[in-house]
Structure 1
Protein backbone atom coordinates (compact mmCIF):
# COMPACT_ATOMS: atom_id res chain seq x y z
CA UNK A 1 0.00 0.00 0.00
CA UNK A 2 1.19 3.52 -0.71
CA UNK A 3 2.57 5.47 2.22
CA UNK A 4 2.07 9.21 2.41
CA UNK A 5 3.16 11.96 4.77
CA UNK A 6 3.73 15.68 4.79
CA UNK A 7 7.05 17.43 5.30
CA UNK A 8 5.77 19.11 8.46
CA UNK A 9 4.53 15.86 9.98
CA UNK A 10 7.84 14.16 9.23
CA UNK A 11 9.68 16.94 11.04
CA UNK A 12 7.57 16.92 14.20
CA UNK A 13 6.83 13.16 14.15
CA UNK A 14 3.05 13.53 13.95
CA UNK A 15 0.69 11.84 11.56
CA UNK A 16 -0.29 13.84 8.48
CA UNK A 17 -3.60 15.66 8.27
CA UNK A 18 -5.64 15.87 5.08
CA UNK A 19 -7.75 19.02 4.94
CA UNK A 20 -10.56 19.68 2.51
CA UNK A 21 -12.72 22.78 2.12
CA UNK A 22 -15.92 22.74 0.11
CA UNK A 23 -18.95 24.92 -0.27
CA UNK A 24 -21.49 24.05 2.43
CA UNK A 25 -23.87 22.57 -0.10
CA UNK A 26 -25.44 19.09 -0.31
CA UNK A 27 -23.95 18.70 -3.79
CA UNK A 28 -20.50 18.45 -2.14
CA UNK A 29 -21.38 15.45 0.05
CA UNK A 30 -20.21 12.98 -2.60
CA UNK A 31 -16.77 14.63 -2.60
CA UNK A 32 -16.50 14.34 1.18
CA UNK A 33 -17.61 10.70 1.13
CA UNK A 34 -15.12 9.87 -1.64
CA UNK A 35 -12.19 11.44 0.20
CA UNK A 36 -13.17 9.74 3.48
CA UNK A 37 -13.40 6.36 1.74
CA UNK A 38 -10.09 6.85 -0.07
CA UNK A 39 -8.27 7.66 3.17
CA UNK A 40 -9.81 4.72 5.03
CA UNK A 41 -9.04 2.33 2.16
CA UNK A 42 -5.48 3.60 1.83
CA UNK A 43 -4.93 2.64 5.45
CA UNK A 44 -6.42 -0.84 5.02
CA UNK A 45 -9.65 -0.34 6.93
CA UNK A 46 -12.05 -3.21 6.23
CA UNK A 47 -14.95 -2.53 3.84
CA UNK A 48 -17.57 -2.42 6.60
CA UNK A 49 -15.61 0.22 8.50
CA UNK A 50 -15.08 2.19 5.27
CA UNK A 51 -18.86 2.21 4.79
CA UNK A 52 -19.28 3.45 8.38
CA UNK A 53 -16.71 6.21 7.79
CA UNK A 54 -18.53 7.38 4.65
CA UNK A 55 -21.92 7.38 6.35
CA UNK A 56 -20.64 9.17 9.46
CA UNK A 57 -18.94 11.88 7.39
CA UNK A 58 -22.11 12.25 5.31
CA UNK A 59 -24.37 12.58 8.36
CA UNK A 60 -22.07 15.02 10.20
CA UNK A 61 -21.57 17.17 7.09
CA UNK A 62 -25.30 17.19 6.40
CA UNK A 63 -26.01 18.46 9.92
CA UNK A 64 -23.53 21.31 9.43
CA UNK A 65 -24.71 22.12 5.90
CA UNK A 66 -28.35 22.32 6.99
CA UNK A 67 -27.40 24.81 9.71
CA UNK A 68 -25.01 26.88 7.58
CA UNK A 69 -25.87 30.18 5.92
CA UNK A 70 -25.77 30.47 2.14
CA UNK A 71 -22.24 30.79 0.69
CA UNK A 72 -20.61 29.21 3.78
CA UNK A 73 -17.56 26.96 3.57
CA UNK A 74 -17.38 23.55 5.24
CA UNK A 75 -13.94 22.39 6.29
CA UNK A 76 -13.10 18.77 6.96
CA UNK A 77 -9.86 17.33 8.26
CA UNK A 78 -8.85 13.69 8.40
CA UNK A 79 -6.03 12.35 10.54
CA UNK A 80 -5.08 8.73 10.94
CA UNK A 81 -3.55 7.85 14.26
CA UNK A 82 -2.64 4.20 14.80
CA UNK A 83 -5.80 2.17 14.22
CA UNK A 84 -8.12 5.17 14.38
CA UNK A 85 -9.38 7.77 11.90
CA UNK A 86 -10.10 11.16 13.43
CA UNK A 87 -12.40 13.45 11.47
CA UNK A 88 -13.23 17.08 12.29
CA UNK A 89 -15.86 18.98 10.31
CA UNK A 90 -16.56 22.69 10.86
CA UNK A 91 -18.82 25.32 9.34
CA UNK A 92 -20.45 28.59 10.28
CA UNK A 93 -23.91 27.91 11.67
CA UNK A 94 -26.99 30.00 12.26
CA UNK A 95 -28.39 27.72 15.00
CA UNK A 96 -25.50 26.00 16.74
CA UNK A 97 -27.79 24.40 19.34
CA UNK A 98 -29.54 22.34 16.64
CA UNK A 99 -26.28 20.75 15.39
CA UNK A 100 -25.79 18.42 18.34
CA UNK A 101 -29.40 17.56 19.21
CA UNK A 102 -28.86 14.35 21.19
CA UNK A 103 -32.42 13.10 20.73
CA UNK A 104 -32.47 13.27 16.95
CA UNK A 105 -32.29 10.20 14.73
CA UNK A 106 -29.23 11.58 12.93
CA UNK A 107 -27.37 11.96 16.22
CA UNK A 108 -28.26 8.37 17.14
CA UNK A 109 -26.84 7.24 13.78
CA UNK A 110 -23.60 9.17 14.41
CA UNK A 111 -23.26 7.68 17.89
CA UNK A 112 -23.65 4.16 16.55
CA UNK A 113 -21.17 4.67 13.68
CA UNK A 114 -18.39 6.33 15.67
CA UNK A 115 -16.33 5.41 18.69
CA UNK A 116 -16.33 8.96 19.98
CA UNK A 117 -18.09 12.12 18.90
CA UNK A 118 -18.40 15.65 20.22
CA UNK A 119 -19.88 18.94 19.08
CA UNK A 120 -18.58 22.36 19.98
CA UNK A 121 -19.39 25.91 18.98
CA UNK A 122 -17.14 28.92 19.03
CA UNK A 123 -17.92 32.57 18.51
CA UNK A 124 -15.63 33.98 15.85
CA UNK A 125 -15.53 37.14 13.85
CA UNK A 126 -18.66 37.09 11.73
CA UNK A 127 -20.65 34.52 13.74
CA UNK A 128 -20.68 31.09 15.27
CA UNK A 129 -18.64 28.17 13.94
CA UNK A 130 -19.77 24.68 14.92
CA UNK A 131 -17.40 21.73 14.88
CA UNK A 132 -18.14 18.02 14.96
CA UNK A 133 -15.16 15.89 16.04
CA UNK A 134 -15.39 12.13 15.71
CA UNK A 135 -13.21 9.08 15.57
CA UNK A 136 -13.72 5.63 14.13
CA UNK A 137 -11.56 2.70 15.14
CA UNK A 138 -10.34 0.34 12.44
CA UNK A 139 -12.49 -2.77 12.42
CA UNK A 140 -15.15 -1.21 14.66
CA UNK A 141 -17.92 -2.13 12.21
CA UNK A 142 -17.83 -5.67 13.58
CA UNK A 143 -18.99 -4.58 17.05
Structure 2
Protein backbone atom coordinates (compact mmCIF):
# COMPACT_ATOMS: atom_id res chain seq x y z
CA UNK A 1 0.00 0.00 0.00
CA UNK A 2 1.14 3.52 -0.82
CA UNK A 3 -0.22 6.53 1.06
CA UNK A 4 -0.07 10.17 0.01
CA UNK A 5 -1.06 13.06 2.29
CA UNK A 6 -1.37 16.67 1.15
CA UNK A 7 -3.30 19.74 2.20
CA UNK A 8 -6.98 19.37 1.27
CA UNK A 9 -6.82 22.16 -1.30
CA UNK A 10 -7.76 22.28 -4.97
CA UNK A 11 -4.17 23.24 -5.84
CA UNK A 12 -3.15 19.68 -4.88
CA UNK A 13 -5.43 18.02 -7.42
CA UNK A 14 -2.87 17.96 -10.25
CA UNK A 15 -0.14 16.26 -8.15
CA UNK A 16 -2.62 13.68 -6.81
CA UNK A 17 -3.87 12.97 -10.33
CA UNK A 18 -0.28 12.69 -11.61
CA UNK A 19 0.76 10.23 -8.90
CA UNK A 20 -2.38 8.20 -9.53
CA UNK A 21 -1.76 7.99 -13.29
CA UNK A 22 1.90 7.06 -12.78
CA UNK A 23 0.95 4.26 -10.39
CA UNK A 24 -1.78 3.03 -12.76
CA UNK A 25 0.94 2.22 -15.28
CA UNK A 26 1.96 -0.66 -13.01
CA UNK A 27 -1.48 -2.28 -13.25
CA UNK A 28 -1.57 -3.19 -16.96
CA UNK A 29 -4.23 -0.55 -17.59
CA UNK A 30 -5.03 0.68 -21.08
CA UNK A 31 -4.59 4.35 -21.97
CA UNK A 32 -8.38 4.73 -21.92
CA UNK A 33 -8.54 3.24 -18.43
CA UNK A 34 -5.81 5.60 -17.20
CA UNK A 35 -7.80 8.52 -18.64
CA UNK A 36 -10.91 7.26 -16.81
CA UNK A 37 -8.84 6.87 -13.64
CA UNK A 38 -7.68 10.50 -13.86
CA UNK A 39 -11.31 11.64 -14.17
CA UNK A 40 -12.39 9.45 -11.26
CA UNK A 41 -9.59 10.78 -9.04
CA UNK A 42 -10.57 14.34 -10.05
CA UNK A 43 -14.21 13.78 -9.13
CA UNK A 44 -13.51 12.00 -5.84
CA UNK A 45 -10.91 14.49 -4.63
CA UNK A 46 -12.86 17.56 -5.79
CA UNK A 47 -15.84 16.35 -3.81
CA UNK A 48 -13.72 15.78 -0.73
CA UNK A 49 -11.99 19.17 -1.03
CA UNK A 50 -15.41 20.90 -0.95
CA UNK A 51 -16.35 19.30 2.37
CA UNK A 52 -12.94 19.25 4.09
CA UNK A 53 -12.26 21.27 7.20
CA UNK A 54 -10.21 24.31 6.20
CA UNK A 55 -6.51 23.70 6.80
CA UNK A 56 -6.88 19.91 7.03
CA UNK A 57 -5.27 17.16 4.94
CA UNK A 58 -6.55 14.71 2.38
CA UNK A 59 -5.15 11.20 2.52
CA UNK A 60 -4.98 9.03 -0.57
CA UNK A 61 -4.26 5.33 -0.35
CA UNK A 62 -3.28 3.15 -3.29
CA UNK A 63 -3.31 -0.64 -3.49
CA UNK A 64 -1.93 -1.98 -6.74
CA UNK A 65 -1.90 -5.36 -8.39
CA UNK A 66 -1.22 -6.46 -11.94
CA UNK A 67 -4.95 -6.50 -12.67
CA UNK A 68 -6.54 -3.84 -10.42
CA UNK A 69 -6.05 -0.32 -9.12
CA UNK A 70 -7.63 0.45 -5.73
CA UNK A 71 -7.90 4.08 -4.65
CA UNK A 72 -9.20 5.52 -1.42
CA UNK A 73 -9.25 9.17 -0.36
CA UNK A 74 -10.62 10.79 2.76
CA UNK A 75 -10.89 14.06 4.64
CA UNK A 76 -12.05 15.29 8.03
CA UNK A 77 -15.32 17.21 7.81
CA UNK A 78 -17.94 18.78 10.01
CA UNK A 79 -20.57 18.68 7.24
CA UNK A 80 -23.45 16.27 7.73
CA UNK A 81 -25.16 16.24 4.33
CA UNK A 82 -22.59 13.92 2.76
CA UNK A 83 -24.16 10.60 3.77
CA UNK A 84 -26.57 8.94 1.35
CA UNK A 85 -27.88 12.01 -0.51
CA UNK A 86 -24.49 12.35 -2.22
CA UNK A 87 -25.10 9.07 -4.00
CA UNK A 88 -27.95 10.71 -5.91
CA UNK A 89 -25.78 13.53 -7.26
CA UNK A 90 -24.41 13.70 -10.80
CA UNK A 91 -20.78 13.39 -9.65
CA UNK A 92 -21.55 10.05 -8.02
CA UNK A 93 -23.05 8.77 -11.29
CA UNK A 94 -19.87 9.86 -13.09
CA UNK A 95 -17.77 7.94 -10.57
CA UNK A 96 -20.02 4.88 -10.86
CA UNK A 97 -19.60 4.93 -14.65
CA UNK A 98 -15.80 5.27 -14.53
CA UNK A 99 -15.11 2.63 -11.86
CA UNK A 100 -15.79 -1.06 -11.26
CA UNK A 101 -16.48 -0.78 -7.53
CA UNK A 102 -17.36 2.41 -5.63
CA UNK A 103 -18.08 3.13 -1.96
CA UNK A 104 -18.70 6.11 0.28
CA UNK A 105 -17.96 5.76 3.99
CA UNK A 106 -18.52 8.15 6.85
CA UNK A 107 -16.62 7.42 10.05
CA UNK A 108 -18.37 9.37 12.79
CA UNK A 109 -16.31 11.03 15.44
CA UNK A 110 -12.62 11.76 15.17
CA UNK A 111 -12.17 11.84 18.92
CA UNK A 112 -12.94 15.52 19.16
CA UNK A 113 -16.74 15.22 19.10
CA UNK A 114 -17.00 17.74 16.26
CA UNK A 115 -15.79 16.11 13.08
CA UNK A 116 -15.92 12.86 11.17
CA UNK A 117 -14.01 11.37 8.24
CA UNK A 118 -15.57 10.86 4.83
CA UNK A 119 -13.84 8.41 2.49
CA UNK A 120 -14.50 7.65 -1.17
CA UNK A 121 -13.01 4.36 -2.41
CA UNK A 122 -13.03 2.80 -5.84
CA UNK A 123 -11.46 0.02 -7.89
CA UNK A 124 -10.70 -0.11 -11.59
CA UNK A 125 -9.97 -3.57 -12.97
CA UNK A 126 -7.38 -3.65 -15.75
CA UNK A 127 -8.56 -4.95 -19.09
CA UNK A 128 -5.94 -7.17 -20.71
TM-score (norm 2): 0.90
Are the aligned partners of 1:64 and 1:99 in contact in 2 as well (CA < 8 Å)? no
How much has 1:93 moved relative to structure 2?
A: 1.4
- 17, 21, 24: which one aligns with 1:37: 21
Q: In terms of Rg, which structure is larger?
A: 1
Aligned residues between the structures:
124
> Quick one: distance in 2 between partners of 1:135 and 1:52?
12
Deviations 1:50-100 (A, max 9, x none): 011111111101111100111010000111134111111011012243265
Q: 1:37 to 1:96 in 2, by over 3 A?
A: farther
Gaps of 5+ in 2: none
> Quick one: distance in 1 between partners of 2:81 and 2:72?
18
Between 1:99-108 and 1:34-43, the stretch displaced more is: 99-108
> Quick one: distance in 1 between partners of 2:65 and 2:22?
16
Matched residue of 1:97: which SS?
coil
Match of 2:121 in 1: 133
- Cα root mean square deviation, aligned: 1.6
Runs of 4+ in 1 over 2 A off after TM superposition: 96-100
Between 1:124-133 and 1:95-104, the stretch displaced more is: 95-104
Matched residue of 1:32: which SS?
helix
Are the aligned partners of 2:83 and 2:106 in contact in 1 as well (CA < 8 Å)? no
Match of 1:66 in 2: 50
Gaps of 5+ in 1: 1-16
TM-score (norm 1): 0.81
Q: 1:20 to 1:29 in 2, by over 3 A?
A: same
